[in-house]
Amino acid sequence: MLVIMQQIKAARALLGWGQYDLAVKSGIAISTIRRIERSNGSLRAHFETIAKIQRAFEAAGVRFSGDPHPGVSLGRKQEKPCD
């Protein structure tokens, strides 16, 4: 399941992240984050770009829900596996 633009904004709000924070944590350029959040309707970005954003949120504990009611919730931060 890929996230929608409203979920990105809601997830940032839950975490108290600005666009810059999301850019740093996802490895995506801030200009790309801004462009994505300005769009209406479906996201206009490469699959991998959205996947990186989603992974950054999930690593911080955000959980995404899908159809029929897309949403976000905050759970536990994911632990990185030990090497």
Q: Which of 22, 10, 5, 4 is nearest to 72 (CA)?
A: 10
**What's the confidence (pLDDT) of residue 54?**
92
* pLDDT tens-digit readout, 27-50: 999 999 999 988 876 778 899 999
Report the chain's mean pLDDT, rounded to a whole number.
86
**pLDDT score of 83 more than 50:** no
Asked whether the whole model's pTM tops 0.85, one would answer no
**pLDDT score of 24 more than 90:** yes
Domains of the chain listed by start with CATH number: 5-74 (1.10.260.40)
Which H or E run contains 64?
strand 62-65
Give the CB-side neighbour count of residue 1, counting CA atoms within 13 A. Answer: 14
